[in-house]
Amino acid sequence: MKWAVVVDSSSDMACMKQEIEEAANGNVLFESVALKLEAGEVEFTDDETLDVDEMISYLKSYSGKSGSASPSPQEWYDAFEQADNVIAITITSELSGSYRSACAAKDMIQEDYPDKNIFVLDSKSTGPEMVLLARKAVSFALEDISFDEMQQKMLKYQKRTHLIFALENMDNLIKNGRVNKLEAGVAALLGIKILARASVQGTLEIMKKARGKTKVYDKMLEEMLDYGYIGGHVVISHCNNEAMAGYLRLKILEKYPDSQVDIIRTRGLCSFYAEEKGVLVGYERIEA
Ligand code: X90
């Protein structure tokens, strides 16, 4: 196998292996490497076998300490070993050790297999923006481009992809130190939704706070348009919020009827941090 595209499970892609490999006619290998969620003695592995609803209801009934863990270098290594050319796409290195783990795995592989090429891309983001990046990497791999071209093209494409999200609850982000407590604090008040985005550096940047059922999603679309969205691909990932994901999709299609808007469900990691009703949107901007 010439190319492998490997993501971590923060991309919500753990169940997409078959679909992606079939669409690529078996010419590209796809793997998702799992992060883990821990609640006391119980551990959830964010792979294709995880029952996300069961995890969410367990966490609802559990009041102790909970957290997450990035994949080990060995887990990345096992995926990297399967191809000659590999592109790995990780959750932002600002919030997780996943990128560092993948880089350690790359060093191990290059000791053992000096001829393999591994490119580890820090998405500076997560969730649906990683879906856009991974899909693009698969399509470049099918063009049979060189390893250097893959790196250049992906870094160029990454400049055009973006992540914006609306959250109703930031408890797990705050408790695990992934967001500034003072900044987020007011979100704890009932009925307030937070609009935030992945900053250029890959940190969580709070933009607005809004009340009301649809207001935050209207603002989200306004921000997307301000930021250069003119009808490219959009991937919406939601945690039990089909209604608002659908609402947003409709609004985008009203404005740009030809755009492709896919809706997927958050899996383990993003369900844990984005929490019930969280909606994450990855989109493409105009060419810089
Ligand atoms: O290594 C680990 O334990 C994983 C830690 C991940 C922490 C943040 C996950 C966020 C998931 C919620 C909002 C998106 C924030 C993106 C900012 C760049 C989804």
Structure confidence by residue, pLDDT tens digits, 157-209: 999 999 999 999 898 998 898 987 777 766 556 678 999 999 999 999 999 88
Q: Report pLDDT digits (tens) over 63-92.
A: 899 999 999 999 999 999 999 999 999 999
Instruction: Give residue 209's pLDDT.
Output: 84
| Pairing mode, strands 28-33 and 117-122 | unpaired
Q: Report pLDDT digits (tens) over 109-144.
A: 999 999 999 999 999 999 999 999 999 999 999 998
Report the nearest-CA residue for atom 12 of ligand 1: 274
Domain boundaries, the chain: 3-158, 161-284
CA of 28 to the centre of ligand 1 (A): 27
Q: Report pLDDT digits (tens) over 99-108.
A: 999 999 999 9
Q: Do domains 3-158 and 161-284 have the same CATH topology?
A: no
Cα separations (Å) of 134 from 215, 254, 266, 284? 31, 27, 16, 13
Mean pLDDT over 37-60 rounds to 97
Q: Say which DSSP state 163 is in.
A: E
Q: Say which DSSP state 285 is in.
A: P
| Pairing mode, strands 42-45 and 66-69 | unpaired
CA of 98 to the centre of ligand 1 (A): 11
First to last CA, the chain: 34
C-alpha–C-alpha distance, residues 14 and 32, integer Å = 5
CA of 16 to the centre of ligand 1 (A): 20
C-alpha–C-alpha distance, residues 285 and 288, integer Å = 8
Instruction: Give residue 236's pLDDT.
Output: 98
Instruction: Give residue 186's pLDDT.
Output: 62
Instruction: Give residue 234's pLDDT.
Output: 98
Residue type, 65: K
C-alpha–C-alpha distance, residues 101 and 114, integer Å = 19
Q: What is the mean pLDDT of the chain?
A: 95
The token pair that represents 87 in the structure block = 């592109």
C-alpha–C-alpha distance, residues 219 and 20, integer Å = 33
Residue linked to tokens 């940190």? 203
Cα separations (Å) of 41 from 44, 66, 132? 10, 10, 35
CA of 202 to the centre of ligand 1 (A): 10
CA of 249 to the centre of ligand 1 (A): 23
Instruction: Give residue 32's pLDDT.
Output: 98
Q: Using pLDDT thresholds of 50, 70 and 90, give the confidence band for residue 29.
A: very high
Other Cβ atoms closer than 10 A to 203: 15
Instruction: Give residue 288's pLDDT.
Output: 54
- What dotted CATH number matches 3-158? 3.40.50.10170
Mean pLDDT over 209-220 rounds to 90
Q: Which of 12, 203, 273 is the best mutation target for the ligand 1 pocket, counting ligand atoms within 8 Å of the beta carbon and taking the most?
A: 273
203 Cα nearest atom in ligand 1: 18
69 Cα nearest atom in ligand 1: 3
- What dotted CATH number matches 161-284? 3.30.1180.10
Considering the entire predicted model, what is its pTM?
A: 0.97
